[in-house]
Structure 1
Amino acid sequence: MKLTVFGATGGIGREIVRQALGAGHQVTAVVRDPTRLDVTGNALEVFRADLTDPQELRAAVAGRDAVLSGLGARSRRDAGVAARLTRTVLGAMEAEGVRRLLVVSAGPVGPEPENDGFLDRGMRGLVSAVLKDVYADLREMEAELARSGTDWTSVRPPRLQDKPLTGRYRTVVGGFPPKGRFIARADVAHAMLSMIDDMGTVKQGVGVAY
């Protein structure tokens, strides 16, 4: 497949690029600073852009089978970037008639899992309070997806870890895995790639966790 990856220098985005190349896909990695992308491959195209103008991004998405995005705030100070940058990506995709889009959101943005204990509910409430601006940004991003004409999927992980790929994790379409507290960035990337052709995830939020 021909794939475009936004946020390709971030933890999840870099993993998407690496795994997609390993699976034999053609990948266009959209980055602000190409020197920060340490992944290489014959099937890799690096596209430099600042993500402010949908017209500038049209060439990066034209003719692609799917677009995958790891865009999002890296700290509370960055809250607002997910919705703003995703809006630009959507504009480019809709201009080029590209429909399939998968993005990274967060577990607390979706519904609470059933049968979670007091500890999990308490921790989720604490994290949501501390990161309320970040989650508000992600909710607005998901609202932008819902208003768009794309076949989107929002992947919602819990706390992220820098650990090796396992390929073993739980997913819940429209919900979240009970007692799902962690997942590696590499496994989030794996999940996103595996969902590209999964029509059951289209226009859905999907919780993913160990």
Structure 2
Amino acid sequence: MKILVLGATGRVGSQIIPRALEDGHDVTILVRTPDKIKVIDENIHIIQGNALNKNDVESVMAGVDIVISALNTDGTNTLSESMQLILEAMKKEDVKRIITIGTAGILQSRVTPGLLRYQSSESKRKSTQAAQEHHRVFDMLTDSEVEWTIVCPTYLPDGDCTSKYRVESSFLPEGGTVITVGDTAEFTYQQVKSTKFLKSRVGIAY
């Protein structure tokens, strides 16, 4: 299987790559600074480029089976701008499947039905800028024809994979307050092999 990874130098993306290589997949990485990728493997293809550049995104999409995007917001509109280009390139190359990293803020609120967590008192974050950007991406994926999954971690400190966590479609597991980068990467990668959460947001927490 050919997997395109975006955001490969980030905390979650960098932990997805070795899992894919270990399973023998062909991994293509689009990255602005190739020197940041320290993995050496015959099945990894490191392409210098920018997810905000239409030509760069199109150039790495040919022959791809699955896109994994672990891009972050950077405090800007990076996510929504890049997602527009990704979806256009996926349509052009007939790529059907994308898995992205979102935020628990775009899951449904338990305390205020009809609202997302970041729109309700359930969220404790003072700034909603990042959640709004993730919300825009959620809307774009919902309106698209691709088979998408958004993995939505809550507070995300560095930490190893324990493989002991809870997940729930559309909601954050009750009482969940934290999930490590390692476990988030593991669950995200598992979606490559699963159809359980197609066209779903998935909350993940301990």
Query: Is TM (by shorter chain) over 0.5?
Result: yes
3-state DSSP class of the match of 1:112? Answer: coil
Q: Which residue of 1 aligns with 2:49?
A: 49
Q: How far 1:157 moved relative to its partner?
A: 0.3
Task: Give the match for residue 90 of structure 1.
Answer: 87
Equivalent residues of 2:173, 2:204 under 8 A apart: yes
In the alignment, structure 2 segments of 5+ residues that lack a partner are 112-117
Structure (1 or 2) with the greater helix fraction: 1
- Alignment match, 2:17: 17
C-alpha displacement of 1:72: 1.5
Question: SS at 1:200's partner residue?
Answer: coil
Q: Unmatched 5+ residue regions in structure 1?
A: 115-120
Contact 1:113/1:177 (8 A) holds in 2? no
Per the TM alignment, residue 44 of structure 1 is displaced from its structure 2 partner at its CA by: 0.6
Match of 1:193 among 183, 186, 189: 189
Tell me the residue number matched to 2:65.
65
1:123, CA displacement in angstroms?
8.2
Q: In structure 1, what is the equivalent of residue 107 of structure 2?
A: 110
Q: Which amino acid aligns with 2:163?
A: G
Alignment partners' CA distance in 1, 2:97 and 2:110: 27
Match of 1:126 in 2: 124
| Distance of aligned partners of 1:113 and 1:51 in 2 relative to their CA distance in 1, 3 Å threshold | same
- TM-score in terms of structure 1 length: 0.88
Deviation of 1:170 after TM superposition, in Å, equals 1.0
**Aligned equivalent of 1:167:** 163
Residue of 67, 84, 98 corresponding to 1:101: 98
Secondary structure at the residue paired with 2:149? Answer: strand
Equivalent residue, structure 1, for 2:38: 38
Instruction: Tell me, in whole angstroms, the C-alpha distance in 2 between the residues paired with 1:131 and 1:145.
Output: 23
Of the three residues 183, 191, 200, the one matched with 1:204 is 200
Q: Residue 113 of structure 1: CA displacement? A: 4.7
Q: How many residues align?
A: 200
> So what's the TM-score if we normalise by structure 2?
0.89
* Aligned-pair identity (%): 26
CA contact (8 A) 1:14 1:39 kept: no
Summarize deviations over 1:49-105 as a string: whole Å, max 9, x none: 11233333223122122110001124xxx2321111111111111110001000011
Distance 2:55 2:96 in 1: 17
Q: Conserved in 1, the CA contact under 8 Å of 2:69 and 2:101?
A: yes
The residue matched to 2:123 in structure 1 has which SS? Answer: helix
Distance in 2 (CA, whole Å) between partners of 1:73 and 1:92 is 20
SS at match of 2:196: helix
Task: Give the aligned CA root-mean-square deviation in angstroms.
Answer: 2.0
> Residue 206 of structure 1 aligns to which amino acid in structure 2?
V
Distance in 2, Cα, partners of 1:113 & 1:47: 42
